[in-house]
Structure 1
Amino acid sequence: MRFNFIYIFSHLYLSYNSFFKMDTSWMSLPRATTEYENGLDKFLDFIFSTEGKNGQISCPCIDCSNQIWVDREEARTHLQCVGFIKGYRIAPFISESCETPMLDAEDDMQGLVHDAFNGFGENIHENEIGTQNESQSMPNRNAKNFYKALEDAKKELYPGCKKFSVLSFIIRLFHSKCIGKCNDKGFSMMLDTLREAFPYASIPKSLYDLRKIIRELGLSYDKIDACPNDCMLYWKENSKKTECDICHTSRYKANENDPDDELTIPDTDKKIKKIGAKVLRHFPLIPRLQRLFMSSKTAASMRWHEESRTKDGYLRHPADSPAWKTFDFNYPDFASESRNVRLGLASDGFNPFRTMSVSHSTWPVVLMPYNLPPWMCMKQPYFFLSLLIPGPSAPGNNIDVYMEPLVAELQELWDINGVETYDASTKSNFQMRASLLWTISDFPAYANLSGWSTKGKLSCPCCHKHTKSQRLTHGNKYCFMGHRRYLPGDHAVRKDKKSFDGTKETERQPRGLTGSEVLDELNGFEIKFGKLVKTNPDLPFNWKKRSIFFELPYWKTNLLRHNLDVMHIKKNVCDSVVGTLMNLDGKTKDHLKARLDLQEMGIRPELHPKVQNNNKVYLPPACFSMDKKEKDIFCRVLKKVKVPDGYAANISRCVELKPPKLFGLKSHDSHILMQQLLPIALRNVLPKHVRYPVMKLCRYYKQLCSKVLNPNDLVQMENEIGKILCDLERIFPPSFFDVMVHLSVHLASEAKLGGTVHYRWMYPIERCAFIF
C-alpha cells in the first residue's frame, strides 16, 4: 500500500536487464526479403525466451494488436503476412551483428541507476567515484545518492558472487514481496533466515534498512496530519497548529499522560512525538512524472501520442478525442511540447482488510499519464498513487480538503516555467508541464469530485436542472422516464400519451453545462468543510460545493471534466434487465408497488393489480416476464456457454437450473453478459417487441465499448439510444427507470468527446486496487 513506487521501480529493473542495442531496420523492409525473415526469427527467439507464457505471446501484428495470445508458429505467420502494428517498440536484443553488449545481461543495475539519476555519472568510472566532471552540474544530494547507489550496484552480494550485486538482490527480493503480497513480519523473518544461511552476504538487517536503501533510488511519501472530522489539513501555514480551527478537535490522539506535542524523557535528550489522529499519505507527483523521462525506455514512449499515433479520424486513444484537441487549441503553448503530460484522475473507496465484516473505507487517489501508447497506458506499472486518504469512513464531500496537496502540485506543473526534467532518450533537459484532463469514478464518488449531488430528483449531472424525474408514490423512489426529449422534434412518439406517462413531450434535449456556467451558478457561495459543520449556505439545484479542481486555471475550459463510469452503469442496467425479465427476488423492478404506481398514473390498465374474492391481490402476467419454460431455456443456454480461457469468468457458476435463476454476477460478468451472451440467450424467449429493444440495448453497449470508435457511428448511437429507451418505457414499469438506466442516454455523447471508454472507466483501477 505504501510503496507502490517500489513495485514500479522493480518492474522497470526486471525488464531493463533485457534491453540491448540492436539494428531494427529490418522491420521496415519488405516482408518477402531474407533480411526480414532472419530478423523476425531472431525477434521470436528473444521474445519467447523472455516474455513467452506457456509457449504463447501477445501477437504484435496489425490484426491482433497485442490483444490475442498465440504460439510461435502462428505469431510468425501473422507477422510474415501482415507485419507489425505501426509504432511498435520492442525490447532490443543482442543480434549477431552487435559486437559488444552494453552490460552483462544478468545484472545491468548500473544502467538502471544511470537512468534513475538523470543519466548523471555516465562517464564516471570506478576510480572516479567521489569526483565530478566539471562539465556536469548535479545537485550535491543527487550526487551523493548516485555514488552510493553506484557502489551498491557494483558491490558483490558476497565474495565471489557473479550473479547478483547488492542492489539487484535487494530489488528482486522486494519485487517478490510485492508480487507475492508477503506481509512485513513474514518478510522480516525471511531476511533473518537468509542472513543466518549466508553470513558473508550483505543482506539488510531489517525491512526498515532495506526500505532505506530502495528509498534512495525510488520515491518516498509525506505524512500530513488531518483533522479527524475532515475540516482541514495541518499543512503549509497550518503545519504548527495543534487543534482544528473549525471544530477545535485536537490534532493528536488523546493520551492523558502526554498533554503536550512532544515530551522529553527525564535524564535524556530523547523526545516522544504524539501520534496524529488522522494522517494523509501524500506521494509527490512531480518526481514520479520525472522518473518516466529519466528512463530512456519510457521517455520515448511519452512522445508516442504525437510521433507514432495513427491519425485517420477514428477514436483509439485519448489523443484522438475532441477533449484533447480542444485543449490543444485553447493552450497552443502547452501543446507545442509533446512531452507535456496529460493526466487522468481516479478515486474510489475500498476496504484494505478485504473483509465485508469490517466497515472501513480507504480512498486512494490515482493518476495515470495518457501520453503512453495503448499497450502501456492504463496498465498497472504506470498508475501513480498520489494520495491515500485514511478511513474508517469515506471523506464524502470533504474530499477537497485532502486534495489540496495534489492540486497545488498540478498548479505548479501548469506554470509556464514548468519543472526542469531530464529526458534520457534525447539526453537533454526540458521544462515539463502537466494538465488534468478529467476524473474517473463510480456514480457516488462522482458527487464527491464534481460537487453535484447524485441523489434526489436532479440526480443526473448531465441534464442538470433540466433532469426530468417523477417521485413514485408507492415505490418511494424517483423514476426518470423523459427519454422522448431525445427524439427528433417531429417524431410521432412525442405525442403518444397512452404508452408513456400520460403526457405529450414538447421539451428539447438538454445540453450539459460548461465550466464557466458552473462557476456562474456557484459564484459568491463559500463552503466550509468538515463533518460537524452545519451552517453552509443553500446552494442552487443539486450543488453541494464548488469542486477544488476549478482552482486549476484550465479546468473550466475542459470539454469533459468528469466521466460517467460505463463499468458500474452497465452492471446496474444488467442487473435490472435480468432481474426484471426473470422476476428474481430482490432484483426485479416489477412488483406490487410498481403496479400500483402504474394504476395511479393511469397507464397500461392490463397490468393494474386486481383484488380477488378472497381479498388477495392478483398481478396480471406482464409481457416482459418469462414463464417457467422460458426461464429454463434461458438458464440452460447460459449454463452451457464456454468462452476462451482468460476471456471471462465461468458464468455457468452463476446459473442455477432448479429453480432457474442467476446470482452472484460480478461487474465483468455483467459486461460479458450484456455484450455477448444476453442476445443469444433471448433468441427463443419473450415476444419480439420485448426482446428486440433489449437486444438493441446490448448492441449499443457493445458498440460503445469498442476499441476503435467512428465519430459518425457515435452520432447514430446518440439517436438510437433515445429510441431504445423509449421502446423500453413502453414495456417496463416506471420503477425500472432509475438514474442508472437513464445515464445510458449520455454515454455515447461522452464517448464523442472523450473517446474510447477503455481509458475512462474503473476496470483497470479496481483490478489494481490491491497494490495500493
Structure 2
Amino acid sequence: MDKSWMDIKDRTSVGYRNGVAQFLNFASQHAQRDGTIVCPCRKCVHSTMLAIDDVQIHLVSHGICRGYRRWTFHEESSSRKTSVRTPSTSVQENSNENSNMREMLHHMFPMHDMVPEPMGEDMASDPMVGDPSVEQPTQGPNEESLQFLKLLKDVEEPCYEGCTKFSKLSVIVYLYHLKCLLGWSNKSVTFLLQFLQELLPSSAKLPKDYYEAKKIIKDLGLSYEKIDACPNDCMLFWKENSNLEACSNCNHSRWASNEVGVPTNTNAPSKKVKKKAAKILRWFPLKPRLKRLFMSPEVAPHMKWHVDGRTNDGLMRHPVDSEAWKSFDSKYVEFSSEPRNVRLGLAADGFNPFSNMSTAHSTWPVMLVPYNLPPWMCMKRAYFMLSLLILGPTSPGNDIDVYLQPLIQELKELWDVGVETFDVSSNSSFQMHAALLWTINDFPAYADLSGWSTKGALACPSCNYDPQSRWLKHGRKFSYIGHRRFLDRDHEFHNHDKEFDGRTDFSRALVVVLGSEIIAQTEPVVDVVFGKKKDNLTNKRKRGEHALCIWKKRSIFFSLPYWENHMLRHNLDVMHIEKNVVDNVIGTVLNMDGKKKDNLKARLDLEEMGIRSELYLEELGSDKTYKPPACFEMTASEKDSFLQVLKGVSVPDGYASNVSRCAKLKERKISGMKSHDSHILMQQLFPIAIRGSLPDEVSKHLIELSCFFREICSKVLSLEDLESLQKRIAVMLCELEKIFPPSFFTVMVHLLIHLTDEAKIAGPVHYRWMYPVER
C-alpha cells in the first residue's frame, strides 16, 4: 500500500487528501459496530474513537502521527483485532471524581491494553528473519513483562459486577493515594478495606488488608528504595557501608538522637525501640521506568522518532539535530546503531516544599528527561522521571555527588550491560542501553554538579581560566567586562580605550575546553572529602592555590565512560540568565534603590579607571555630592510613560501572569516579577515600552538585546543564523559597555556571549532550560 502521502507537508494538496481517503477506506473495513475508528492524528494519537468523517477532518487539520508506518491500530498485518478501549456511554457519564482518578492513573502507568501484536506479514517476509547468521530479537514479552501486562488487566476489570466507575486497581491506587495525603495508618486502611468488603456486593474484588493492597501496588515496579545518609552529607550507608552505625568520616551517628536510647524508667521492662535514620535518600530506580516506556503502545512507537519520524532538513528543532548528538553517534557507533537506546538529560534543582521563602528546609529532586521522544512529548511532565529525592535542612551543595552514587551506578550498568526490555510496538525483546547527554540546572546548581566554582574572578565556566573579570576597588566586586576579545580581529573597537576600560584590547577568546583538559585540571581535587564537617586539614588550600585550581572537585559524572567525550556536559540556563539581565536593566534605567547598578561607588570606579569623566561625582560642599545624570537613567516623566505602557498591558489567559500588576506607578518601579514575567517583558513588551523613554543611542541597543533573547529562544534554529547572532551579541555587549558602568556587567550578563555557542552545539534552548523543571 502506497504511504508516500504521509510525508507530504502540504495537507491541502490533492496527493495528501487522496492518501487520507485511501487510509479511511482501509480503516473503515475494520470499524467498530457504531462506525467509529481510532483517530491516528497528531492530536489524538490513537486515544480517541471517532466517526470516519471526523477522523478525516482531524487528519487534514492536524496531520497523521509521524512514524505510524504500520497501521496496527487499524488491523494492518494483524490476524486479530487490536484491543482498543471504546469509550462507552457509561464511561462518558462518569463523575468528576472518576475522571480525576483516571488522570492520576494515567501518570502512574499506561491505561490501555498492552497485549502485544503477533508477528505480522511485514516481519515474516523480512529476509533477515530466520537467518541463523543474524542475531534474532526475542519474540513476545519476557516473564517480567507478562507479569506487568497481567497486572494492568485489572485496570479494566470492574471493582464488582455492574460497576462502571471504578476498576479493582483504580480503587486500590485511590485508597493508597488518600493514605499518603492524609497520613492514614496501615491499620486504618485495613479496617476500611474490611468495611468495603461488607458494604459492597459479594462479587467485589478487593484485597482483604493493607498488606495485600501494597503488594499489588508494588508489582507495578515503580517503587523507591530508602538509603540512609550521614546528616553531614559525608557518605551513604549503602552497599559495603550498609551495616555501619556511624559515619566513617565525621563519626556522626546514623540514627536520629530522639529515637535511640534506653527507656527512662529503669524498672520498666526493656522494650526494643525501632531506630529511625537521621537522614534518608529516596532512590527511584531508573531501569523499570525506562522499560515502562517501551511497554506502552502509545509511547513505544515514539521512542524511535529521532530516527524514523524527524524532518532532516538541516535545521535544528530537537537535540537529535544538534552537533552534540551527531558527535556522540559517530564516536559510539554500537550504541547509536540501536535506535531504541535512550538518551537522557538530568535536571536538578532545590525548592522549599512549604511554599514560602524560608530556608529551614530544602528538597532536591533529581529528574531525568528521555530525549528519544518527539518535540510534542519530550518536555512534558508525564515523561519526566524522578530519580532521586534528597531531603534535608540544607541543600547538598558540593556534596551532591554523595547522593548521585546510586543513579551513576545504574547509568554505568545501562551503558555497559543494558537491560532486557520488551518493545510492545515490535512484539520483541531487546537489550536496551542508555546514556546521559548533559545536565540542566541554574547557575548555583551548575557549580554543585560540575565542580567549577561559579563565584569570584573566574566565575564563568565556559571561559575557564581565561581571565575575564576586573576587580572594582570601590564597588568591592568583580565586573565581567572585556567582550572585545569576542569580536572579529579587524573590528575597530579593539583600538578604543577611553570608551571602554581605559585600555586597548587585542586578546582572543579561549577555545572550548575539552574533557581531557578538565580531567587534568581537576587532578589536585580528585580525592576531595565530602561532608559539611570536614577535618581542618582536609581540603585546605594553601595561600595562592585558589588561582591555580578553582575546581572544588572532579564531578562524579566523569566516572561515566563517555562523559569526557561530550561536547557539552552542563547547560547554561537561559531562564535564569534572562531573569537576571532583566533585573539589571530595569533596576538601572528606573534608578530603583537596591536594584540599580549605577550608584556612588560605581561613579568612583569610573574615576578610578579614568573613563567617562562627564559622570564623575562633583563636590558641592563639605557634606554634599552631586551625581550627574547618565544617559541611561529615565527622568520622572519618562518613567511614568514607560510604566504606563506596562500598566495597560492585558494578555490572554495562559500566556503570562498579570504583568500590569508589577508596574507601580506611584513608586515609579517594577516589582514582584516572576521568571516568566521577565521572559514576556523582555521579549514582547520591552521593545514597545522603551521607545521614547530613553535616547535612541541607548534604546536601540536594549531593543537589540530583546531581539537576541527572542531569537535564541526560537523553536527552530539554523547554524547560519546562530553564526550571525554570535557576532551581533558580541558587538551589542561592547556597545553596552560604552553606555553602562562596569558594575552593570555581572557574570549573568557576561554569560550571554556563550548562549549561541551552546545552541550551536546542543540545539534549541527549550529542551535545556529550567522552565519545565521548575513547573
**TM bucket, shorter chain:** 0.7 to 0.9
Shift of 1:419: 1.4
Aligned to 1:601: 609
- Aligned counterparts, 1:321-332, within 5 A: 321-332=322-333
Flag the 1:51–1:114 CA change in 2: closer, same or farther, 3 A.
closer
Secondary structure of 1:389's match? strand
Flag the 1:288–1:646 CA change in 2: closer, same or farther, 3 A.
same
Aligned to 2:520: 520
- Aligned counterparts, 1:400-479, within 5 A: 400-415=401-416, 417-479=417-479
Secondary structure of 2:299's match? helix
> Does structure 2 retain, via aligned residues, the 8 Å contact 1:638–1:655?
yes
Aligned to 1:703: 711
Shift of 1:523: 2.4
Flag the 1:240–1:121 CA change in 2: closer, same or farther, 3 A.
farther
Aligned to 1:13: none
> Does structure 2 retain, via aligned residues, the 8 Å contact 1:420–1:430?
yes
- Aligned counterparts, 1:732-743, within 5 A: 732-743=740-751
Flag the 1:395–1:267 CA change in 2: closer, same or farther, 3 A.
closer
> Does structure 2 retain, via aligned residues, the 8 Å contact 1:527–1:537?
no
Per-residue CA deviation, residues 625-660 of structure 1 (Å, 9 max, x unaligned), is 011111111111111222232211111111122232
> Does structure 1 retain, via aligned residues, the 8 Å contact 2:85–2:113?
no
Aligned to 2:132: none
Secondary structure of 2:377's match? coil
Aligned to 1:301: 302
Flag the 1:113–1:742 CA change in 2: closer, same or farther, 3 A.
closer
Letter in 2 for 1:286: K
> Does structure 2 retain, via aligned residues, the 8 Å contact 1:116–1:294?
no
Aligned to 1:277: 278
CA distance in 2 between counterparts of 1:635 and 1:89 reads: 55
Aligned to 2:389: 388
Of 65, 80, 83, the match for 1:102: 83
CA distance in 2 between counterparts of 1:272 and 1:121 reads: 54
CA distance in 2 between counterparts of 1:504 and 1:497 reads: 5
Secondary structure of 1:387's match? strand
Aligned to 1:344: 345
The reply to whether residue 662 of structure 1 matches residue 670 of structure 2 is yes
Number of matched pairs: 705
> Does structure 2 retain, via aligned residues, the 8 Å contact 1:580–1:625?
yes
> Does structure 1 retain, via aligned residues, the 8 Å contact 2:116–2:425?
no
Secondary structure of 1:446's match? helix
Shift of 1:541: 3.0
TM-score (norm 1): 0.82
- Aligned counterparts, 1:247-266, within 5 A: 247-255=250-258, 258=261
Shift of 1:205: 7.4
> Does structure 2 retain, via aligned residues, the 8 Å contact 1:192–1:205?
no
Of 168, 173, 178, the match for 1:166: 168
CA distance in 1 between counterparts of 2:388 and 2:703 reads: 42
Letter in 2 for 1:585: D
Shift of 1:490: 2.1
Secondary structure of 1:214's match? helix
Question: How well do the aligned residues superpose, as a CA RMSD in angstroms?
Answer: 4.2
Secondary structure of 1:436's match? strand
Secondary structure of 1:761's match? coil
Shift of 1:39: 5.0
Letter in 2 for 1:548: I
> Does structure 1 retain, via aligned residues, the 8 Å contact 2:440–2:770?
yes
Flag the 1:153–1:378 CA change in 2: closer, same or farther, 3 A.
closer
The reply to whether residue 240 of structure 1 matches residue 237 of structure 2 is no
Shift of 1:310: 0.7
Of 750, 753, 768, the match for 1:745: 753
> Does structure 2 retain, via aligned residues, the 8 Å contact 1:564–1:747?
yes
Unmatched tracts of structure 2, length 5 or more? 8-13, 46-52, 92-101, 120-138
Flag the 1:559–1:650 CA change in 2: closer, same or farther, 3 A.
same
> Does structure 2 retain, via aligned residues, the 8 Å contact 1:119–1:294?
no
Letter in 2 for 1:307: D
Shift of 1:195: 3.6
CA distance in 2 between counterparts of 1:654 and 1:672 reads: 13
Of 542, 547, 555, the match for 1:547: 555
Flag the 1:283–1:100 CA change in 2: closer, same or farther, 3 A.
closer
Flag the 1:286–1:163 CA change in 2: closer, same or farther, 3 A.
same
Per-residue CA deviation, residues 492-524 of structure 1 (Å, 9 max, x unaligned), is 111111111111102101223110000112225
Letter in 2 for 1:737: F
Unmatched tracts of structure 1, length 5 or more? 1-22, 53-57, 66-72, 124-134, 768-772
CA distance in 2 between counterparts of 1:685 and 1:114 reads: 55
Q: Tell me the percent identity.
A: 51
- Aligned counterparts, 1:124-273, within 5 A: 139=143, 149=151, 152-153=154-155, 156-171=158-173, 182-185=181-184, 192=192, 195=196, 198-200=199-201, 201-202=204-205, 210-255=213-258, 258=261, 272-273=273-274
> Does structure 2 retain, via aligned residues, the 8 Å contact 1:459–1:542?
no
Shift of 1:26: 8.6
TM-score (norm 2): 0.82
> Does structure 2 retain, via aligned residues, the 8 Å contact 1:340–1:433?
yes
Shift of 1:25: 9.8
Flag the 1:190–1:79 CA change in 2: closer, same or farther, 3 A.
farther
CA distance in 1 between counterparts of 2:574 and 2:210 reads: 41
Secondary structure of 1:464's match? coil
Letter in 2 for 1:515: G
Aligned to 1:636: 644
Secondary structure of 1:302's match? helix
Flag the 1:668–1:36 CA change in 2: closer, same or farther, 3 A.
farther
Shift of 1:117: 11
Aligned to 2:530: 529
> Does structure 1 retain, via aligned residues, the 8 Å contact 2:344–2:370?
yes
Per-residue CA deviation, residues 563-615 of structure 1 (Å, 9 max, x unaligned), is 00000000000010111111112211111111111111111111111111362
Secondary structure of 1:281's match? strand
Aligned to 1:5: none
Flag the 1:173–1:378 CA change in 2: closer, same or farther, 3 A.
farther
